[in-house]
Amino acid sequence: MRARDLGIRIGRGQPGPNNAITDVPGVRVGHTTIIDGDGPLVIGRGPIRTGVTVVVPHDGDPWTEPLFGGSHTLNGNGDMTGLEWVRDSGLVVGVIGITNTHSVGVVRDALIGRAVRDRPRSGEAWTLPIVGETFDGMLNDQNGFHVRPEHVEAAIAGASGGPVAEGGVGGGTGSICHEFKGGIGTASRVVGGAGGPWTLGVLVQANFGSRPLLRVDGVPVGEAIPIDDVPSPYGPGRGARLGGGGSIIAIVATDAPLLPHQCARIAQRVGLGAARSGGIASTTSGDLFLAFSTGNRGLPPPEAEPGGRPTVELRALVDAALDPLFLATIEATEEAIVNALVAAATMVGRDGITAHAIPHDRLRDVLARHARLPG
């Protein structure tokens, strides 16, 4: 179930055929979801509610063919490895991972292992994988370190184009969003003009927000479905996020030909989409965004040997043509967050803590009363 299945239309833009980041040609997404056990938390045993999500950025060898990319940190109480090199070089190299806070290291190392195995004759090869995270310890035995290298391998092996599984899957298995069950969401927009059409897609791991702040298409849904009606997982002593804490990781892909500084400007606009859904980038929030462009293929790897091509021919949109892509990013981000909420099912985690799904009937009723549904 997705937002548009309920009649919800975010913004004015036209989505791609799958309304997903995979509408950008060559981009693939894979998940490994790990769910096991119930009852009281026993560190190292469970209950387990976690996983890993990967984004494969193009249909070539992502370890040897970089793409132009850029990043933006709206609030830095989180981690996305590899961003220093992205900022310095303007390049995105390799498969991108998203997981829980305490599994970043194992996912990073597994991606390095995959790169080494894919390049067995490159003894001096190096890579700095990009791995983002959000905290899932409210539902998951996060300190049990249950994500392992084989889970990363399975996510890569299962990565595909087309429709993307959403909600409580992959890295978003244990996510909570606006005190409802959250997780993975995605959406896309097709932008005409400026030499296009161009496709832009966003994938989020939505694990942020407080109930009173939730907005859907501008409607104060969180106020209309308060925690007195649908309980919050943050009970007494569990750190209720009155200020809208938590984190959101976002990956933006586009086939528009962009330079690194333009990718960074695209990444910055993710924050506006998050704000439209009620995010405030609070002190306890890790809001980290990455954007990459497939519009200039065939770039040499960073460690290309001297004597290779000294120059490359590039295409790029002029900065004045970026505004439609900015709007596409904002709309697709907002819709991806709503898709994460709509797709997620109620989940009972460790110690019986329950993250309830947003009730579809109540959501439709609230939006209808604000004239946001067709007909």
SS3 at position 155: helix
Classify strands 198-208 and 183-191 as parallel, antiparallel or unpaired.
antiparallel
Name the residue with tokens 């469970």.
46
Residue 348: beta bridge partners?
A: 354
* Cα distance between residue 356 and residue 365, in whole Å: 18
- Is 319 noted as a catalytic residue in this protein? no
Q: How far apart are CA 174 and CA 52, in angstroms?
A: 11
Helices (H), 44-103: 83-89
Catalytic residue among 23, 136, 255, 287: 287
**Catalytic-role residue among 247, 277, 282, 293:** 247
Give φ, ψ of 348 to 5 degrees. -100, 125
89 classed as catalytic: no
Angle CA 123–129–133, to nearest 5: 150
User: Tokens for 103?
Assistant: 């599994």
Q: Which residue among the candidates 188, 210, 277, 285 is catalytic per the annotation?
A: 285
In a 3-state reduction of DSSP, which class is residue 233? coil
For residue 32 the two structure tokens come to: 């490994």
Contact 51, 33 (CB under 8 A): yes
Distance (Å) of CA 38 to CA 23, 45, 136, 142, 169 = 37, 10, 15, 14, 18
Catalytic residue flag (residue 287): yes
Provide the annotated active-site residues: 247, 285, 287
